[in-house]
Amino acid sequence: MRIWSRWLGVHQNRQLKKQLKQLLGFTPRHLRLYETALSHRSITEHEKDSNERLEYLGDAVLGAIVGDFLYHKYPGRSEGYLTEMRSKMVNRQQLNDIAIKMGLRKLVHYDKYNSLLKISHIFGNALEALVGAIYLDRGYDKARQFVYQSIIAPYMDMETLEHTEINHKNKLYGWANKYGHQLTFELLEEEMKGARKIFTVAAIIDGKIVSTGKAYNKKDAGQIAAKLALEKLGLIESSPTE
């Protein structure tokens, strides 16, 4: 039994290395870093075994890489413009959509029975954690190469991003004002999920609930509700689910 378990572990490691090589374009040196990057806290026994610390690091590394990219791409643009563009490139929904398109949905380990996670940004968070793992495993230059070649080049059209609205609540308010509709956002519920509180916020148009959003803070829940409302109204395209 021990021999079989050991063989199974080796087989799984080989399979993960193969999948990561296809995704990253290189073979990881320290596989454990990437296993952690792909592990959501919903399936880890201890918080330190989840990808949250790597997500924190990856967020900082990604921000620096994108900031450097924008600084050199737009030499005549103001600080405000660069800051806004960086926000559009690394906002949670954008990264989550990219992560799904990259195939991270199949690699991330999470509690698939938790319905809330299916509408959260765990795949985008895992992508940030992956950047953190690359940084620790292969250094800043390799992380920058991955971000340029695997995130920015294939998934970010800069001209389109310049005209993209990332604040869905503002966009929905603009539509409501333009066409004379009454729009409000209402907190429907607060509940505890494990050790964390979950908020449910509704987007209400002319007294009718059009959509609801759930998240670990009210701001994100409101943005999710607004985004879903915009999708129902046909004002934006639906996010990818596969």
Identify any residues that bridge with 202 across adjacent strands, giving them in sequence order: 186, 212
Known catalytic residues? 59, 128
How many C-beta atoms lie closer than 10 Å to residue 138's C-beta? Answer: 18
pLDDT at 8: 39
Which part of the chain is CATH 3.30.160.20?
Answer: 168-232
Architecture of domain 168-232: 2-Layer Sandwich (3.30)
Q: Which residues of 50-82 are buried (b: 16+ CB within 10 A; e: fewer)?
A: bbbebbebbbebbbebbbebbeeeeeeeeeeeb
Positions in the chain whose pLDDT score sits under 70: 1-11, 115-119, 194-195, 239-242
Query: For the segment 149-203, what is each residue's pLDDT rounded down to a tens digit?
Result: 999 999 999 998 888 777 888 889 999 999 999 999 999 999 887 667 889 999 9
Q: Spelled out in words, what is the top-level CATH class assigned to the domain 2-162?
A: mainly alpha
pLDDT at 242: 45
Q: What are phi and psi of 140, to 5 degrees?
A: -65, -45
CB 231 within 8 A of CB 213: no
pLDDT at 1: 37
pLDDT at 6: 43
pLDDT at 188: 95
pLDDT at 193: 72
pLDDT at 111: 80
CB 61 within 8 A of CB 143: yes
pLDDT at 36: 94
Which part of the chain is CATH 1.10.1520.10?
Answer: 2-162
pLDDT at 12: 77
Task: Quote the pTM value.
Answer: 0.70
pLDDT at 119: 60
pLDDT at 239: 62
